[in-house]
Amino acid sequence: MWTVLSVAEAVSDNFMNIFYAIVVIIILYLIARIIITHEKEKTRLKGADLRLKAKKMEMLEKERYVKTLKDASMVLKDDEKTTLDELERDKAILSRRSLALMTEIEERMQRLERGADSAKLLKTLRDIKEAEKELFGK
């Protein structure tokens, strides 16, 4: 019992010192958390910057590849260029035909929908007129 009482007296005598020590430890912990968070943010920014640079490099590589292909097409023989031009024209014609067919299909679908709506409305109108005749006898 004597030791518990002496410990209680020691704690009460040094309460302010213990309190200040706990406050200092909490403050140091918070400062450490802030520093760690700040370092993580710096790392994330550096990572994002590196990814951006990698994307730029990839785009530059693609541009160089396309330029190389264009330069290579200048070396083609005349008959090869003619064949490629014919294919390009055929592709353009097919694209225009496909677009025209898609437009025609869309227009016909809209016409069909409007016709169906009109038929439904006419039927509803006839039904209403018949119900009026039955109800009012005209």
* pLDDT digits (tens), the chain, 138 positions: 457 777 777 777 778 888 889 999 999 999 999 999 999 999 999 999 999 999 999 999 998 888 887 776 667 788 888 888 899 899 999 999 999 999 999 999 999 999 999 999 999 999 999 999 988 886
Please tell me what DSSP assigns to residue 76: S
Per-residue pLDDT, 125: 94
Instruction: Examine the domain organization and report whether 5 and 61 are in the same domain.
Output: yes
Per-residue pLDDT, 138: 65
Instruction: Examine the domain organization and report whether 104 and 65 are in the same domain.
Output: no
Please state the φ and ψ torsions of residue 28, each to the nearest 5 degrees.
Answer: -60, -40
Instruction: Examine the domain organization and report whether 43 and 109 are in the same domain.
Output: no
Instruction: Examine the domain organization and report whether 17 and 70 are in the same domain.
Output: yes
Instruction: Examine the domain organization and report whether 33 and 53 are in the same domain.
Output: yes
Instruction: Examine the domain organization and report whether 68 and 3 are in the same domain.
Output: yes
Q: In Å, what is the CA distance from 56 to each residue of 8, 31, 49, 59?
A: 68, 38, 11, 5
Distance (Å, whole) CA 138 – CA 38 = 87
Contact assessment for residue 76 and residue 84, using Cβ atoms and an 8 Å cutoff? yes
Instruction: Examine the domain organization and report whether 28 and 59 are in the same domain.
Output: yes
Per-residue pLDDT, 36: 95
Q: From 25, 56, 75, give the residue that closes a domain.
A: 75
Q: From 75, 108, 128, give the residue that closes a domain.
A: 75
Structural domain tally of the chain?
Answer: 2
| Residue 8: domain span | 1-75
Instruction: Examine the domain organization and report whether 42 and 96 are in the same domain.
Output: no
